[in-house]
Amino acid sequence: MDWIYNFPDMSRSDLRDFKKSVDFAFTNFSRTYGEAIESFFEPLLMFLVWFEKFFINTPWPLIVFGILLLAWVGSRSVVVVLGTFISFMLIGYFGMWEDTMSTLAIILVATFLCISIGIPLGIAMARSNKIQAFVVPILDIMQTIPSFVYLIPVVMLLGIGKVPGLIAVCIYAIPPIVRLTNLGIRLVDKDVLEAADSFGANYWQKLFGVQIPLALPTIFAGVNQTIMMALAMVVIASMIGVKGLGLPVLQAISNQYLALGLMNGLAIVILAIIFDRVTQKFGLRMQKYRNEGKD
Partner 1 sequence: MDSKNILIKVNQLYKIFGKGDKSALDLVKKGMGKDELLEKSNCVLGLNNINLNINRGKIQVVMGLSGSGKSTLIRHLNRLIEPTSGEILFNDTNILNLTPKELIQFRQNNMSMVFQKFALFPHKTVLQNVGYGLAIQNISKDEWYEKAQRWIKRVGLDGYETYYPGQLSGGMQQRVGLARALATDAEILLMDEAFSALDPLIRSEMQNILLDLQSELHKTIIFITHDLDEALKIGDKIAILRDGSMVQDSDPQEIIMNPADEYVSDFIKDINRARVIQAKSIMTPTEAKSSGATVKEDMVLEEILQIMSDSPSKPVTIENSKGKITGRIEMVNLIEGMKRPKSLGTNITG
Residues engaged in binding partner 1 (CB under 8 A):
189, 191-192, 194-202, 205, 209-210, 213-214, 289-290, 292-295
Contacts of 279 (CB under 8 A, 6+ apart): 74, 220, 223, 224, 227
Single-letter code of the amino acid located at 224:
N
Q: How far is the CB of 120 from partner 1 (least distance, A)?
A: 21
165 or 184: CB nearest partner 1:
184
Q: How far is the CB of 223 from partner 1 (least distance, A)?
A: 18
3 or 203: CB nearest partner 1:
203
185 or 230: CB nearest partner 1:
185
Q: How far is the CB of 134 from partner 1 (least distance, A)?
A: 23
161 or 213: CB nearest partner 1:
213
Q: How far apart are CA 245 and CA 266, in angstroms?
A: 10
17 or 197: CB nearest partner 1:
197
195 touches 95 (CB < 8 A)? no
193 touches 206 (CB < 8 A)? yes
214 touches 188 (CB < 8 A)? yes
- Calculated CA dihedral for residues 147, 150, 154, 160, nearest 10 degrees: 30
Q: How far is the CB of 214 from partner 1 (least distance, A)?
A: 6
Q: How far apart are CA 262 and CA 228, in angstroms?
A: 19
* Number of neighbours of residue 6 by Cβ within 10 angstroms: 7
Q: How far is the CB of 265 from partner 1 (least distance, A)?
A: 40
